[in-house]
Amino acid sequence: MKALPWRWVLPPLLLAGLAALLLTLSPARLLNLNAPPLESLIVERTVLNDQGITLKVRAEGSAPMTIAQVQVDGAYWAFTQQPPDPIRRLATATVQIPYPWVEGEAHHVQFLTNTGVVVAHPIDVALPTPALSLATLLGYGWLGLYVGLVPVGLGMLCYPYLKVLGQRGLTFVLTLTLGMLAFLLVDTLQEGLELAGKAAAAFQGQALVWFAATVACLALFAVGRRQGKPPEGTALSTYMALGIGLHNLGEGLAIGTAFALGEIALGSFLVIGFTLHNLTEGLGIVAPLLRKQKLRWQTCVALAALAGLPAVIGLWVGAFAFSPHWAALFLGIGAGAILQVIIELGTYLQRQLHLSRLSGLAGLSLAGFTTGLLVMYSTALLVKF
């Protein structure tokens, strides 16, 4: 038997030795640093009901944290915590405060830790949190259909209008779709990065968004081209529907949480705004199908569902089970999926123009792209809050 080669054993041995050394010697002590443990707490979910205020908190201190006291509006209140032990790093606990909050008004919650550190959590507008029930599920479900499925479906129904277009018209529609997708990419990234800021710092939410986007884009790219050629026709539409669906999931999340937190008022104006805003998405999904001779209605329904139904899921999750880091992760994936579609649609368009020997359409393409951006931007004016 050969002697165990030292070069295999040395690295793990040295690493273990170093860790042991650091743990026993604690080199920070050499610097005479005696800093108190870092204490930080974020509130991931706020529930207001007739029992008072319930907050799901996540600790991100360097040592287990103890919530010693809770103030609401500058007054100490009795509270219960589940589980009652000190909250370990990245663990969560539920804090219940029997505070008679006032509907429509602002309240200020402050946690006082056992070392005297104060962590503030403002509640801008107190409104009863929708309780999970069949009625509220249905209500949010309907809203999701209006925001997602209905506009996407309506947009797809424009297929016959688009079918009669010539090559120039088709180019315009495809570049318009590219513009729409560019808007969605920026919008999804922005939404994701914003949510990332609300997550515990240890989760590195912003990096999560970028990494998820990159990996999702590359993975979809690999899957889409696994047979050696880029997706076209129904396949391209499917990827588009997936990307748009993930964006609509994010949109649903945003609306669901905003409604639950009372940040936006549920008005018919807003719902109409979302319908108009998402109409263009349906238009984009059918654009790659325009060259096909026959389109099966089942395909259309499946594409509409893929693009539109995630809004329903987003609304449910946003209203009833929201966590900012998970939301940031999903929005990152959504951004990656949209980027993949932009690349595939862009190269498809390039091939088309090359095949038809159509050049000199730069002006038309630019017009289409800009129109797509403008339509999305101007309809977003109705729904951004």
Residues lying near other proteins in the complex (CB under 8 A)? 72-75, 99-100, 102, 104-108
Distance of CA 134 to the CA centre of its chain: 25
Q: Closer to other proteins at the Cβ: 76 or 269?
A: 76
Q: Closer to other proteins at the Cβ: 96 or 371?
A: 96
Minimum separation from the CB atom of position 324 to other proteins (A):
24
Hey, is 161 helix, strand or coil? helix
Q: Closer to other proteins at the Cβ: 14 or 78?
A: 78
Q: Closer to other proteins at the Cβ: 109 or 289?
A: 109
SS3 content of the chain, % helix, strand, coil (to 5): 60, 15, 25
Minimum separation from the CB atom of position 122 to other proteins (A):
9
Q: Closer to other proteins at the Cβ: 11 or 104?
A: 104
Strand order in the sheet with 107-113: 75-77, 67-72, 107-113, 118-123
Minimum separation from the CB atom of position 105 to other proteins (A):
5
Minimum separation from the CB atom of position 99 to other proteins (A):
7
Minimum separation from the CB atom of position 109 to other proteins (A):
12
Q: Closer to other proteins at the Cβ: 17 or 98?
A: 98
Minimum separation from the CB atom of position 104 to other proteins (A):
7
Angle (deg, nearest 10), helices 205-224 and 167-198 = 150
**Gyration radius (Cα) of the chain, Å:** 26
Give one DSSP letter per residue of 188-207, joined into a string: HHHHHHHHHHHS-GGG-HHH
The Cα-based distances of 381 to 179, 273, 372, 378, 384 in angstroms read 17, 8, 15, 5, 6
Minimum separation from the CB atom of position 74 to other proteins (A):
6
Tokens of 327: 């939301």
Residue 363's Cβ-count burial label (10 Å; 0-12, 13-18, 19+) is: exposed
Q: Closer to other proteins at the Cβ: 12 or 74?
A: 74
Dihedral sign computed on CA atoms, order 136, 137, 140, 145: negative
DSSP classification of residue 227? T
